[in-house]
Amino acid sequence: MSHVSSIVTALNWMRSPHHPAATTALSSSSQCCDEGKTAACWVAVTCFATYDAQMFEIIDSEKSFSSGIPPYRLIKGEFDVFQPYFRVRKEEQPVDAPAAKRRKKNKSKNPSNADFNTEKRHQELRPLLISCLEQLPNVWPIAWKMKATPTAATITENAQAIDFPSIQQMVETAQNKFSLKACEDDDVNVPEFEFVLPVTKELDIFSVFNVVCMNKSLTDVKLLQLTPSATYLIPPKSSFLMGSMQNSLDQLGAYVRKVGGADLIVMDPPWPNKSVQRSSHYNTQDIYNLYSIPMKTLMSDKDTIVAIWVTNKPKFRNFITKKLFPSWKFECVAEWIWLKMTTQAECVFPIDSEHKKPYEQLIIGRPIKENKNDNQIDIPRTRIIASIPSTRHSRKPPLHGIVNALP
């Protein structure tokens, strides 16, 4: 009884009060809210410029995220990144300046194995990145280059963000304490809620967890008002499930299996890294928890593509390709790169920065099969996605290249 022709499943993780997403099943998803007809959302539709499509794609995320949700639109200022986050610091004083006045340099440290492997991987990607950067200025949208000052209407701070992770922990603690644990042989209970009214107030910040919420309308956006100051857009032909990996994965698998399996599964795990730990943007997790994802129950009988966002730490890339994929009987078929650019066609970080790279990687896999299915789509082995990143933390670009090719 699927209400969409092909279902896309996204496994996301609740990261912060500004990132209200959990383990989620959807054909398109949104997270939003602002006063008036303004929204910040994620929609799997994108717009491209014309160039050497074999190498890279320029994605207009702002236009993509505003598509399919009229009369609402993306909050202005979401992609106001006009200059790099930092540039290479030039030596301000001559070498022969008095020693007391010279800037002290940090003592160089011996690179670790992780540093060595990170640099090795960077050198593998560098020729492709440099070639892309040489072509980008010639095809970069002129309208973006003309944007050099912040948009008049920027993201407002009026709406109070909901701390979904904390509330989810409270809800599931109460559920585990006061409900009887189902036997292993029992069918998984998957409560469902359909958005029928233009604005839904029936669900609240406690009852929205561990329920498959669906908007079956082919054209209409529905609003979910969880609190007087927090309203969320639910795009047409979409559904979502919020909850923890410990308590929601069986529900997710049962629902996806019920609607025929997923053609595309996108994951954005909160990989452990020092930057996140220092900034406290979100909680990280043990990477081995990914083994608990019931991939067999999520897969479509025809073909399933899994795309996993990963940091530039080689051990996580190796974990996916050499451990996680084989455990699911998948193989790596492509590795894409998201190159983060400013409106002026500059990298947000220096391309060879030792501090932080201006790109992230996307590992793409599919089930291992002896004979290729004629209905399988061909995925480019390497591809660069060039786009302006959101001003919000950890927002990824839409993956039109995969979604649009789904059968």
* pLDDT value at residue 280: 52
Cα(389)–Cα(81) distance, rounded to whole angstroms?
A: 7
Q: Are 19 and 393 in contact (CB under 8 A)?
A: yes
Confidence of residue 172 (pLDDT cuts 50, 70, 90): confident
Residue 243 confidence (pLDDT) above 70: yes
Residue 176 confidence (pLDDT) above 80: no
Cα(192)–Cα(248) distance, rounded to whole angstroms?
A: 13
Give pLDDT tens digits for 20-79.
333 333 333 333 333 333 332 333 323 334 445 568 889 998 888 888 888 888 878 889
Q: Which of 211, 265, 266 is nearest to 242 (CA)?
A: 211
Confidence of residue 98 (pLDDT cuts 50, 70, 90): low
Give pLDDT tens digits for 187-216.
788 899 999 999 999 999 999 999 999 999
Cα(332)–Cα(325) distance, rounded to whole angstroms?
A: 7
Cα(213)–Cα(181) distance, rounded to whole angstroms?
A: 23
Q: Which helix (H) or strand (E) holds 384?
A: strand 382-387
The pTM score is: 0.81
The string of DSSP letters for 294-352 reads -HHHHB-SS--EEEEEE-S-HHHHHHIIIIIHHHTTEEEEEEEEEEEB-TTS-BSS-TT
Average pLDDT over residues 150-174: 71
Cα(273)–Cα(101) distance, rounded to whole angstroms?
A: 36
What does the domain layout of the chain look like in residue ranges? 7-84+137-403
